[in-house]
Chain A
């Protein structure tokens, strides 16, 4: 761990020295906050944070809700109840994100119009729908593995003290399962944050889109994309710290 930190520090220092040495190949001035131009550029780039965060949070919340609604019937003993859930997971899981994004953004409004429901889907909601649906197939499987890891005796005991299926899930199974699935759910959330970069191709003004636009005017891809990567790094590290805290709070260390 400390070794990799040293390595990164070294790499960062090298980049910086190379940038300041003025050999001509580097141009950190584009994002140098001490100059008015650099400052306005950085402000423009960082301005994408809020959109990326909004996009990721709403998509993740939807994905976790849809995932649960898909996972629960997927564990039924009745195969006809199980089937639609399996089909949804297998189908959605097979669609690459980018084609699905194009289909939702350009195709879905046409489908809806032909069904008599004229709606417009802007880039923001197009990206959210796509991210949420595409991710929900994965969260559904995470829920399933978490719920199935809870011993059957827990459900049996809950049912024998008179709880209904829904109450058993809500008060007995899910509270125990959630501690176990928190780490993979966090993974999925980080994945959504990174995949939200695709929203840039349909014109959503998030981090990646802004970087692209600045590159087109400044012709400094290396410096701008380096900053872009660091922006995602900061975002993901914040999430990681938050998840660690949540794990401690919820006692994901119950096995001790």
Chain B
């Protein structure tokens, strides 16, 4: 792939007290690339993607997103304008209706009129296939529907890159596929995606590159077909055995 690099992470270090969450992590992502990050809990995978849009501060190293260094003046704000994020716990705004959840960012951060913002919101609600829920409160929706609203909310800001932090881990099993389907469509449209997930079926289907992390380090990377067939490191092998058992 010979595309432009949209994310450059180099020698990133981060500690929580004595615990080293990230150790010299390097990762480059090209425009349109889909990367799936996996690893045992505490391996630093969530911390890594949370560093990309400045939700987590890092101790040393550098992150550049779409040519903007996070450390530059107003770097975090400018990077966040390019990067959408979907959380494990959805984090919808419970006091607002579904459509108000979607229009808040466009109206307040982008200055769109209510009419334009609502039109934009409806197109994305249709894309995640729940336009009929627009006037409901998040708590009246199922988990899968809530997560799709969260995806639509991010897309309303027209991001160049989407980060997914274990988007299906808080869902009941029967709702996982409706969220993954939306993510697959997004991938097929060419969105640059960094996805932390244990859904290996999804990884096989859409990932250009798998990244396996353990103990704050990137242990192994490669295309899904190569890493699944022949993982090089013992740690990755053990991890795959555990999650693919059932």
Contacts and interface: CB of A to CB of B under 8 A. Distances in A.
Most chain B beta-carbon contacts within 10 A, residue among A151, A167, A171, A179: A171
8 contacts: A151-B89, A159-B55, A160-B84, A162-B105, A164-B109, A172-B93, A176-B93, A176-B95
Contact of B87 (A156, A167, A172, A175): A156
B91 A156 contact: yes
Nearest to B102: A161
A162 B93 contact: no
Given A161-B84, A161-B156, A162-B110, 6 more contacts: A157-B153, A158-B93, A161-B105, A162-B81, A163-B105, A172-B104
Contacts of A167: 108-109
B87 A153 contact: yes
A148 interface: no
Contact of A157 (B83, B87, B109): B87
A253 B96 CA distance: 15
A172 B92 CA distance: 10
A163 B108 contact: yes
Nearest to A175: B95
A150 B69 CA distance: 31
Contacts of B92: 157
A158 B92 CA distance: 9
B210 interface: no
B157 A161 contact: yes
A50 to B, nearest CB: 36
A35 interface: no
B interface: dominant SS: loop
Nearest to A251: B95
Contacts, number: 63
Interface in B189-244: none
Interface in A162-217: 162-164, 167, 171-172, 175-176, 179
Contact of A160 (B80, B94, B108, B110): B80
Nearest to B92: A157
Q: Give the interface size bracket for A toward B.
A: 10 to 19
Contacts of A162: 80-81, 105, 108-110, 157
Given A153-B89, A156-B55, A156-B87, A163 B109 contact: yes
A111 B115 CA distance: 55
A159 B80 contact: yes
Nearest to B104: A171
Nearest to A161: B105
A154 interface: yes
B154 interface: yes
B53 interface: yes
Nearest to B163: A160
A171 B105 CA distance: 10
Interface string A135-163: 00000000000000001011011111111
A177 to B, nearest CB: 10
A176 B150 CA distance: 18
Interface in B113-158: 150, 153-154, 156-157
A249 to B, nearest CB: 13
Contacts of A172: 93, 104
Nearest to B54: A159
A166 to B, nearest CB: 10
The 3 closest A-B pairs by CB, nearest first: A162-B109, A161-B105, A157-B91
B99 interface: no
A151 to B, nearest CB: 8
B91 A153 contact: yes
A160 B150 CA distance: 11
Contacts of B109: 161-164, 167
A160 B104 contact: no
A109 to B, nearest CB: 45
B91 A176 contact: no
Contacts of B89: 151, 153
Nearest to A159: B80
Contacts of B110: 162
A27 B3 CA distance: 96
